[in-house]
């Protein structure tokens, strides 16, 4: 049983006659036209101001985020979001821009978009870019639609997309959404693409191979040049899922590895907030021959003027988003890039890899290490040993971590590792935080041996324990009791 008190709804804190505002009762409201007045009071909770503030502060304290503590969610790259970027993005000069403004009045905003595009092209070794897509998965959709347009222009849209069995679920989902058949390639013993199987499956009906590098196991695909030439020999395209770009900045570039297009998850590599479905951005950069198919408009520059470029409208896949994407997110990403500089970004990647390697060294003896290859920015361990010995599953470990006031890592992904724990500390964490996480994992491994029931029943210190996650997502219960049926007000009548 959870001991923690669940925060009541604000309606349950309501008592008749209490109020949070100070409008004098005798105030003359005759200036409000009769027909606009309500027939009866709005159904609002009657709560004094201090109770309202405390209620919302308590709720905010129930939340866990990168500003609360370490958030080692593998693949998601929950790095710290610098506050200066938030402050600048809230400047009214940016906030109050309107997408219908004349180009001559938004030269600064266009310059920001242009420069971000140039920086991302340089970092990835690509030639053209769209900033429109709203997330990584949306970038994938954009990329595969570009791939389809390219192949169609060559005379055959082709039928298949290849993905490795370690791939992120959005890769096959994207391929299926674009009408392609998904062919899954097995990984080899090292955890990387099996080139023999790639050769067998690669034919001239394959539109593209979608991969991340380093892959979702945190392992660098060291045969990437051979992979690229196998795909290109049959006229296919190589798609770079840029979710793991934070591991390689300044060291290698997707364009130089042979990739034809890449999406960037700005909320991962470039520290923009993860918006839980809110505004995000997943720009897509492409090689020269794919530029005609980019969504329109792109941002162009001639002499000293920036402009929206519609010149490829006839060949473009169309628009992927209203207007120009989430400008304020793009701005934050440029701020992150420019405040680090390219040498700083290289250091970011170096420290991301160093932190992951350090943490893996400290905790891998507690679990099984399914692949022996060197770790990049994240690593995957398996709790199969604890399952076999003590009946403890990864979900039990993840739930128990919450009791220690930390966020759990990603679990049960990638799918090819049984009882997977996927850990990504990011470069943001200090060595003390890494040591702290390691000591929590040690304690939990010890508990598995000595007191497994504490793990089976975890978490003990959170307001919610183990909801059925699918049901909680599909049918969330957002209120604990029913509000009185709201009859339509007069003016809505």
Ligand X SMILES: *Cc1c(COP(=O)(O)O)cnc(C)c1O
Residues at the site binding ligand X, with contacts judged by CB under 6 A = 75-76, 135-137, 168, 170, 212, 216, 241, 243, 265, 282
Q: Which residue is nearest to ligand X (CB)?
A: 136
Among 110, 117, 112, residue whose Cα is nearest residue 88? 112
Give me the least distance between CB of 264 and ligand X, in Å please.
Answer: 9
Q: Which residue lies nearer to ligand X by CB, 74 or 459?
A: 74
Give me the least distance between CB of 29 and ligand X, in Å please.
Answer: 49
Give the β-pairing of 410-411 and 420-423.
antiparallel
The residue to which tokens 């067998």 are assigned: 200
Give me the least distance between CB of 244 and ligand X, in Å please.
Answer: 6
473 secondary structure, DSSP code: H
> What per-residue string of b and e applies to 311-350 under the rule 16 or more CB within 10 Å gives b?
ebeeebbeebbeebbbbbbbbbbbbbbeebeeeebebbbe
Q: Which residue lies nearer to ligand X by CB, 142 or 396?
A: 142
Give me the least distance between CB of 139 and ligand X, in Å please.
Answer: 7
CA distance 89 to 326: 12
CA distance 273 to 256: 29
Give me the least distance between CB of 248 and ligand X, in Å please.
Answer: 14
486: CB partners within 8 A, 6+ apart: 43
Q: Which residue lies nearer to ligand X by CB, 197 or 410?
A: 410
Q: Which residue lies nearer to ligand X by CB, 284 or 381?
A: 284
The residue to which tokens 């969610």 are assigned: 73
134: CB partners within 8 A, 6+ apart: 279, 280, 281, 282, 320, 321, 325, 326
Give me the least distance between CB of 282 and ligand X, in Å please.
Answer: 5
Q: Which residue lies nearer to ligand X by CB, 114 or 270?
A: 270
434 secondary structure, DSSP code: H
Give me the least distance between CB of 398 and ligand X, in Å please.
Answer: 18
Q: Which residue lies nearer to ligand X by CB, 316 or 410?
A: 410
Using CA atoms, how far residue 162 sits from 147, 184, 280, 305, 463, in Å, is: 13, 6, 27, 42, 43
Give me the least distance between CB of 75 and ligand X, in Å please.
Answer: 4
Q: Which residue lies nearer to ligand X by CB, 239 or 306?
A: 239
Q: Which residue lies nearer to ligand X by CB, 123 or 211?
A: 211
CA distance 282 to 245: 12
> Dmax of the chain from CA atoms?
84
């Amino acid at each position: 049983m959870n001991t923690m008190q669940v925060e009541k709804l604000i309606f349950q804190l309501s008592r008749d006659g209490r109020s949070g505002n100070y409008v004098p009762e005798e105030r003359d409201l005759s200036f409000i036209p009769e027909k606009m007045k309500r027939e009866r009071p709005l159904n609002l909770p009657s709560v004094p101001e201090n109770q309202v503030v405390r209620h919302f502060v308590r709720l905010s304290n129930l939340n866990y985020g990168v500003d609360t503590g370490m958030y080692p969610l593998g693949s998601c790259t929950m790095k710290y979001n610098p506050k200066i970027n938030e402050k600048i993005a809230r400047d009214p000069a940016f906030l109050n821009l309107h997408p219908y403004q004349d180009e001559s009045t938004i030269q600064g905003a266009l310059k920001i978009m242009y420069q971000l595009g140039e920086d991302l092209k340089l970092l990835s070794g690509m030639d053209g870019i769209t900033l429109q897509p709203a997330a990584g998965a949306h970038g994938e959709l954009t990329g595969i639609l570009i791939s389809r347009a390219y192949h169609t222009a060559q005379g055959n849209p082709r039928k298949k997309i290849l993905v490795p069995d370690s791939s992120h679920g959005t890769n096959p989902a994207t391929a299926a959404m674009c009408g392609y058949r998904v062919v899954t390639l097995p990984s080899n013993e090292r955890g990387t693409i099996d080139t023999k199987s790639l050769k067998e499956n690669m034919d001239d009906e394959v539109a593209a191979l979608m991969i991340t590098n380093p892959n979702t196991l945190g392992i660098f695909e060291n045969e990437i040049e051979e992979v690229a030439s196998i795909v290109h020999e049959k006229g296919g395209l190589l798609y770079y899922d840029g979710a793991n770009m934070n591991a390689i900045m300044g060291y290698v570039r997707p364009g130089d590895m042979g990739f034809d297009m890449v999406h960037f998850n700005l909320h991962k590599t470039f520290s923009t907030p993860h918006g839980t479905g809110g505004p995000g951005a997943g720009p897509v950069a492409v090689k020269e021959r794919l530029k005609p198919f980019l969504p329109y408009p792109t941002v162009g520059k001639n002499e000293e003027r920036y402009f929206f470029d519609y010149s490829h409208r006839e060949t473009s896949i169309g628009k992927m988003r209203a207007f120009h994407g989430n400008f304020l997110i793009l701005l934050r990403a440029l701020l992150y890039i420019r405040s680090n500089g390219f040498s700083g970004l290289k250091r970011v990647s170096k420290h991301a890899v160093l932190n992951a390697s350090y943490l893996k060294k400290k905790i891998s003896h507690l679990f099984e290490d399914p692949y022996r290859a060197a770790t990049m920015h994240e690593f995957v361990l398996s709790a199969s040993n604890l399952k076999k010995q003590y009946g403890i599953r990864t979900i039990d470990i993840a739930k128990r971590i919450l009791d220690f006031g930390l966020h759990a890592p990603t679990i049960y992904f990638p799918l090819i590792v049984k009882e997977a724990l996927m850990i990504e500390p990011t470069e943001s964490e200090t060595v003390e935080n890494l040591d702290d996480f390691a000591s929590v994992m040690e304690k939990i491994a010890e508990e598995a041996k000595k007191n497994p029931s504490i793990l089976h029943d975890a978490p003990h210190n959170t307001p919610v324990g183990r909801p059925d996650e699918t049901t909680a997502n599909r049918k969330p219960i957002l209120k604990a009791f029913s509000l009185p049926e709201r009859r339509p007000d007069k003016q809505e009548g």
